[in-house]
Structure 1
Amino acid sequence: MLRPRSALLTSLDALMALDDTRGGHEGLERAALAGAAEALEKQKLRATQRIRLRLFSVAADYTATAAWSALDARQGDRAYALLGKALYLAGMAQDPVAEMRVWNSYAMLARQRGEHTEAVDSAQAAQATPITKRDPFFASLAHARAAIGHSDLGDRQAAIRSLGYAQEALEKAELEQPRPSWMAFYGPAELTAMTAIVRDRIGNPAEAEAASHKALGSIPLHFRRNRALATTRLALAQLHQRDVDQACATASGVFELMKGSPLPGRMRSLLGDYYRDLITLAPDAAVAREWGDRYRAAWRRD
């Protein structure tokens, strides 16, 4: 028997809560795809057009959740295929929120693949979705995503300008307004964490460090994966200022934050970036060798 639509939505919220704590993994992806299949099966039954559109929307959200899980696990090809399905379902649902979600994930996937021009293009596609005109909260996220893309391209002016747009939009948003659970991660704290990424990429590691500290002071504790990522970014900013001892101590905290759960692929990759910078900038430092010896197996483990 198919569950009622409200139960489907409740299960989707539960999956997003699991992602906040543990990050993307195969079990989450399988559960999300099962939810999408159930919603699509339900919409085949005789129902009103309004209900069918809503079920297409639920299926789009579940599929986008599966795509996000694959992205976070750094399974790029699978994420790309799932995002294509999610975008199709969002179109069938006539759902601009789901469409914006997919373009946001496309921007992240493009960055993961080193396709920085495409990342900016995807962020701009997110900006063009109708929901950003109705709700500046969504517009803020799209502008912040564009800022990261511009910083990766080395376009300092465009990156700072996009950060400004993101901040202006967020100041206009009603933060307490109900929104989908997948947007729960975003707000002033996450924008500050994204600002840290941009500042480090454009060569302002001291400002990146300050932003990371500020973000970690306000990212809710239950967003464990996001706090661990922000901690890694803090370590990178400290390292880029040649504060090697402090950077290694900070990076070690990531493993404590994620204790009891495997590191998601995206986090392992970022820690790999940290370690490569560490041995490049301080190849002879004893603390660098000790950090590598102690944590190499942990951050490489699947």
Structure 2
Amino acid sequence: MEENSRLRAAMEEAGYKQAELVEAVNRLLTAAGHRGTVGDRTVRYWLTGKSRWPQRRQREALEALFGCPAVELGFVPPEDPLLRRTFLATTTAAGASLTLPPSNTGRVGTSDVAALRASLESLTGLDDTRGGHSALERSALAGAAECLSKQDKASSQRVRQRLLGLASDFTATAAWSNVDARQLDRADGQLKEALYLARMANDSATEMRVWNSLAMLAHQRKEHGQAVDAGYAAQATGITRRDPLFASLAHARTAIGHANRGDRQAALRSFGFAEDMLSKAKPDAIRPPWIAFYGPAELYALGAVVRDRLGFAAEAEAASYRALAVLPTQFRRNRALATARLALAQLHQGEADQACDTAASVFELMAGAPLPGRMRSLIGDFYRDLLTLAPDTTVAREWGDRYRDQWSRP
């Protein structure tokens, strides 16, 4: 008895587990007016080779489901000459009593999904290094469009859902690029589209990503109540119940919203939840690439934001140093942001000279690349605070004269 490796490979390509194949075949049989009699044992016999030639209606369902003749699925027709001639004569008409296409030409399976996911991962790496910009947005939207264009050719409902989830993730990447570039209206529309697709795909990880970005968008618009609401929505997604890392990020984002509203108690409580959840997260768990930025370093950085907003500048400075000490090297944009936050915390303690030196290093970290809009805005906040807190100092005038062109140009 030889295992049916072809059927197993076809199932893997289409994204079917054994129970899912049972359900799909029975659904086709029922739709064709027959009883759905396939069970787990039936599929197990097919896979182990104990059943080498399924019943006719089962064959028709399998052929329609996978879009190819039964022999290409590893099944072997009987050796009886009459039966064999009948099989050969009807192979080209296999599946005619069912409504799915009889050929797998151009069908999209899990290998296509994997290729699209690899493309998305490359965009995530580009964002980590440079930040949001128009080329990243265009590439992400093109990826989303490609995912949606393949929907009608998906080899299974499972693949269709994966394509929807990837389309949502690509769209969220484009939206995030616009959040980082402070193209707020464009980001808003894309986030709404990404949220719709994520819910269609039942993809709670991407849905949580969208709520996280919506909280940041609300912060940029100074709509701090909406930022808190988005943080709570992120906490309510399914992924936060399964993975403490996602829960930690959702609580940290909520804490920033509370801090911006001046609600000290709520902010510190939410940030405490974020710290507790992160301590429970498994560092080696398999997660979507977009959340690779989040860990102890990012939590320290977000803690610096919360504390600075609440007026604890010395604690904010210490948190920024902790963030920079453990931040992975590939996150160049995040390192520059944490450095700008450090400069603000130093300035808010009256250390103008040191703060200006720290802020100047932001441009060195970005190595001549254009600053994303979010970073330009943060540096603009630093300069405005510098003029407010140390308006008559030489260092303030010199810093402005030297760096104004670099942080103010689009």
- TM value normalised by structure 1: 0.99
Which structure would you say has the larger Rg? 2
1:141 paired residue among 249, 257, 277: 249
1:215 aligns with 2:323: yes
Aligned-partner residue type, residue 45 of structure 1: K
1:103 aligns with 2:202: no
1:202 aligns with 2:310: yes
The Cα of 1:255 is off from its aligned counterpart by 0.2
The Cα of 1:198 is off from its aligned counterpart by 0.3
1:181 aligns with 2:286: no
Write the deviation string for residues 211-235 of structure 1: whole angstroms up to 9, x where unpaired.
0011000111110000000000000
* Aligned residues between the structures: 302
Runs of 4+, deviation exceeding 6 Å: none
- Residue matched to 1:266: 374
- Residue matched to 1:15: 123
- Residue matched to 1:65: 173
1:24 aligns with 2:162: no
- Residue matched to 1:289: 397
CA distance in 2, matches of 1:221, 1:248: 23
Write the deviation string for residues 62-95 of structure 1: whole angstroms up to 9, x where unpaired.
0000000011000000000000000010011011
The Cα of 1:7 is off from its aligned counterpart by 1.2
1:234 aligns with 2:342: yes
In the superposition, relative to structure 1, how do residues 165 and 46 fare at CA in structure 2: closer, same or farther (>3 Å)?
A: closer
Aligned-partner residue type, residue 67 of structure 1: A
- Residue matched to 1:167: 275
Aligned-partner residue type, residue 286 of structure 1: T
1:153 paired residue among 261, 266, 270: 261
Write the deviation string for residues 92-137 of structure 1: whole angstroms up to 9, x where unpaired.
1011111101000000000000000000000000000011011111
CA distance in 2, matches of 1:222, 1:63: 23
Relative to structure 2, which stretch is displaced further, 258-267 or 2-11?
2-11
Q: Please, what is the CA RMSD of the aligned residues?
A: 1.0
Q: Secondary structure at the match of 2:233?
A: helix
Write the deviation string for residues 1-32 of structure 1: whole angstroms up to 9, x where unpaired.
88922111111000000000000000000000
CA distance in 1, matches of 2:161, 2:246: 22
CA distance in 2, matches of 1:97, 1:221: 25
Identical-residue share of aligned pairs (%): 66
- Residue matched to 2:151: 43
- Residue matched to 1:115: 223
- Residue matched to 1:5: 113
Q: Secondary structure at the match of 1:179?
A: coil
Q: Secondary structure at the match of 2:326?
A: coil
User: Are the counterparts in 1 of residues 180 and 374 from structure 2 also a CA contact under 8 Å?
Assistant: yes
CA distance in 2, matches of 1:93, 1:30: 23
In the superposition, relative to structure 1, how do residues 33 and 284 fare at CA in structure 2: closer, same or farther (>3 Å)?
A: same
Considering Cα pairs closer than 8 Å and 6+ residues apart, tell me whether 1 or 2 has the greater RCO.
1
Map residues 74-93 of structure 1 onto 2, 5 A cutoff: 74-93=182-201
CA distance in 1, matches of 2:113, 2:364: 38
The Cα of 1:46 is off from its aligned counterpart by 4.6
